[in-house]
Structure 1
Amino acid sequence: MTGARSLLCHMDIVLEDGSIAESTKQSGKPVWLNVGDNSLSPEFEAQIGQLQQGDKHQFILQPEAAFGPINPDAIHYLERSRFPADMVLEPGVIISFTGPANSEIPGMVRDVAADSVTVDLNHPLAGQVLKFELEVVQVG
Structure 2
Amino acid sequence: MKIKKGDKVKVEYEGKFESGEVFDSSKAHGNPLEFVVESGQVVPGFDKAIDGMEKGEEKEFKIEPKEGYGEHKDELKKEIPRDMLPKDQEPKEGMILMMQAANGQQFPAKIAKVEKDKITIDLNHPLAGKKLIFKVKVLEIEHDKGEGIESKI
What TM-score, normalized to structure 2? Answer: 0.80
Measure, in 1, the Cα distance between the counterparts of 2:14 and 2:134. 6
Measure, in 2, the Cα distance between the counterparts of 1:100 and 1:58. 41
- Which one has a larger percent strand, Structure 1 or Structure 2? 1
What TM-score, normalized to structure 1? Answer: 0.87
Report the AA paired with residue 24 of structure 1.
S
Unaligned runs of 5+ in 2: 143-153
The equivalent residue for 1:120 is: 122
Q: 1:100, CA displacement in angstroms?
A: 5.8
1:96-115 to structure 2, matched below 5 A, reads 96-99=98-101, 101-115=103-117
Identity %: 24
* Structure 1 stretches of 4+ moved >3 Å: 38-43
Unaligned runs of 5+ in 1: none
Report the CA distance shift for 1:100/1:66 in structure 2 as closer, same or farther (over 3 A): farther
Q: 1:114, CA displacement in angstroms?
A: 1.1
The equivalent residue for 1:32 is: 34
Q: 1:70 aligns with which of 65, 69, 72?
A: 72
Measure, in 2, the Cα distance between the counterparts of 1:35 and 1:100. 33
Q: 1:132, CA displacement in angstroms?
A: 1.1
Measure, in 2, the Cα distance between the counterparts of 1:91 and 1:113. 10
Measure, in 1, the Cα distance between the counterparts of 2:101 and 2:59. 36
- Answer yes or no: is the 8 Å Cα contact 2:44–2:68 preserved in 1: no
The equivalent residue for 2:97 is: 95
Report the AA paired with residue 52 of structure 2.
Q
- Across the aligned residues of Structure 1 and Structure 2, the Cα RMSD in angstroms comes to 1.9
Aligned residues: 139
Instruction: Tell me which structure has the larger Cα radius of gyration.
Output: 2
Q: 2:25 aligns with which of 23, 26, 31?
A: 23
The DSSP-based 3-state class of the residue aligned with 1:102 is coil
1:6 aligns with 2:14: no
Q: 1:123, CA displacement in angstroms?
A: 0.5
After superposing the two structures, state which structure 1 stretch, 62-71 or 32-41, moved more: 32-41
